[in-house]
Amino acid sequence: MWYILISSSKKGEKKQRTRKPTEQEKGSTSVPVGYEQIVEMYPLDFEEFLWANNLNEEIINVLKRCLEDIWACFNAIPKQLAKENKKYQWSKVESGGRGVHYKDSLQWLEDADIIRRCYNSNITGLPLEGNAIDNIFKVYTVDIACLRITSIEPLSSTIIRL
């Protein structure tokens, strides 16, 4: 027995016939060989994708916690930039937060080219990277529109002040 799955992005389009249907074919919905069963299918969400790949609940829960930490770091960026902080403050990500807990999440955002760190330097000479202070940095989103959407203040009030 064979199972064939067909996917189409042309949902709702009717087939075009190359010849006129015969009297016997008119109104017929049969398939030349076998039977056809139409099943509506939808894309998987992330959790269903993990289940489909046979990941157990423990691994799924670890991934969820990691994603929550990443999301918390990302959401903290506009709040951090809105204040006069000289550096990224881990405690502003979550009350009592520490760099040990969130550093991997921030690194993931940087590796994914979603954010950039701008390090403080005590010397203005070259190379700047060599003179950077590792634990004093600010975080910016690579996509300014992304930063604008996540910021607290509506764009209209920003324009009015200008």
CB atoms within 10 A of CB 34: 10
Encoding tokens for residue 19? 């010849």
Residue 51 within any structural domain of the chain: yes
Residue 21 within any structural domain of the chain: no
Residue 73 within any structural domain of the chain: yes
Residue 61 within any structural domain of the chain: yes
Residue 37 within any structural domain of the chain: no
Total domains, the chain = 1
106 Cα distance to chain centroid:
14
Residue 147 within any structural domain of the chain: yes
Do the beta carbons of residue 110 and residue 138 sit within 8 Å? no
Per-residue model confidence (pLDDT) at position 162: 47
Indicate yes or no: pTM above 0.75.
Answer: no
The pLDDT profile of the chain, 162 residues, written as one tens digit per residue, is: 555 555 555 555 555 556 666 766 666 665 556 666 777 778 888 888 888 888 888 988 998 899 999 999 998 888 888 888 788 888 888 887 888 889 999 999 999 999 998 888 888 778 777 778 888 889 888 887 777 776 655 555 545 554
Residue 38 within any structural domain of the chain: no
Domain of residue 153 covers: 46-161
Residue 144 within any structural domain of the chain: yes
